[in-house]
Amino acid sequence: MTQAAEANPYAPQVARLSRVIDETPTIKTFCFDLEQPMEFRAGQFVQLGVPGLGEAPFTPSSSPLEPGHLEVTVLRTGGVTERLHRMGEGDVCTLRGPYGKGYPVEKLEGKDVVVVGGGVGLAPLRALIHVLLSMTDRLNKVVIKNGARESAELLFRRQYDEWAAHDKVSFEMTIDAPEPGWAGHVGVVTTVLEDLPNEVNVPNSYAFSCGPEIMLRFVTFALLEKGFQPEQIYLSMNRRMSCGIGKCGRCNIGPYYLCKDGPDMCYAQIKDYPNVF
């Protein structure tokens, strides 16, 4: 956390865009080389603001191992994101945070780790993947499953070969429906989980998933069907987060506030509350 955030959790720092990467027709990655490095855990989120317009919560997609460089991957979907998508190198934004707890990486040593992303949901998981690749010597196996509606919407395709090149990493992608020139798997992302019990040692595994809430619902049910216990499943529940510190009351699931107790929640904690999905 920056010194400003420690003194005042609402205080932002000014951040100038160093690069904007077109990822898909609707998604861009915004890169910042920070004057005030921001130390964060994979899975924590920041509030990214457009001066004079507003701000919105995003989980960094860059490596937590490089706190001086921050990347945020954004789907164009509303007022703030529309303006962001019109910005370019040299334009000024604001950043505050980080907020939340982040992924429980300390639990993963000696484990099989399953990462399931859907659409822009791969963006928060990319920070986790950076960390996992830095500690493969302490992991048993990493299995990455990624899906999108169409091939044009698959995020970070430039990195897939790099990720899959690690000895302990397997990577599989899928799109929802057939399209010309696509030779890979076809089907929603849960269809690439069918053989999971043969890919990992389920009792010695943890699974992490991020994507649209309908996807999280069916990924959770699929993992439970394959033998995962609720304690082994973590879901990125990035929704309705505003203040970042549990004061505005917008992001609760039962007694938990996603902004401070999550946003990556263990399914065992939240499974019995009616507003999980």
| Strand bridging mode 13-24 / 54-58 | unpaired
Per-residue pLDDT reduced to its tens digit, 93-117: 999 999 999 999 999 999 999 999 9
User: Residue 1: what pLDDT?
Assistant: 53
- HSE, CB side, 13 Å, CA atoms: give it for residue 221: 10
Per-residue pLDDT reduced to its tens digit, 193-210: 999 999 999 999 999 999
Q: Which residues are CB-neighbours of 70 under 8 A, at least 6 positions away?
A: 15, 31, 32, 34, 38, 46, 60, 62, 95
Q: Which residues pair with 27 in a beta bridge?
A: 24, 75
- Whether residue 47 contacts residue 55, with contact meaning beta carbons closer than 8 Å, is answered with yes
User: Residue 239: what pLDDT?
Assistant: 73
Is residue 33 predicted with pLDDT exceeding 80?
A: yes
235 is written with which tokens?
């879901």
Average pLDDT, integer, range 25-34: 96
10 Å CB burial of residue 120 (0-12, 13-18, 19+) is buried
User: Residue 169: what pLDDT?
Assistant: 97
Q: How far apart are CA 62 and CA 130, in angstroms?
A: 8
pTM of the predicted model as reported, rounded to 2 decimal places: 0.93
164 is written with which tokens?
């899959």
The CATH fold assigned to 105-236 is Rossmann fold (3.40.50)
User: Residue 5: what pLDDT?
Assistant: 53
Residue 263: is the preceding peptide bond cis (ω within 30°)? Answer: yes
Per-residue pLDDT reduced to its tens digit, 126-180: 999 999 999 999 999 999 999 999 999 999 999 999 999 999 999 999 999 999 9
User: Residue 132: what pLDDT?
Assistant: 97
Q: Is 102 left (phi over 0), alpha (psi -120 to 50) or beta?
A: left
User: Residue 111: what pLDDT?
Assistant: 98
User: Residue 50: what pLDDT?
Assistant: 95
Indicate the pLDDT class of residue 6, thresholds 50, 70 and 90: low
Report the percent of the chain where pLDDT is more than 90: 83
Please state which architecture CATH assigns to domain 3-99. Answer: Beta Barrel (2.40)
Per-residue pLDDT reduced to its tens digit, 212-265: 999 999 999 999 999 999 999 999 987 777 777 777 878 888 899 898 888 999
Per-residue pLDDT reduced to its tens digit, 71-84: 999 999 988 999 99
- Whether residue 113 contacts residue 141, with contact meaning beta carbons closer than 8 Å, is answered with yes
74 is written with which tokens?
């954004």
Domain with CATH 2.40.30.10 in the chain: 3-99
Amino acid present at 130: H
Is residue 16 predicted with pLDDT exceeding 70?
A: yes
Domain with CATH 3.40.50.80 in the chain: 105-236
CB atoms closer than 10 angstroms to residue 180:
5
User: Residue 3: what pLDDT?
Assistant: 53
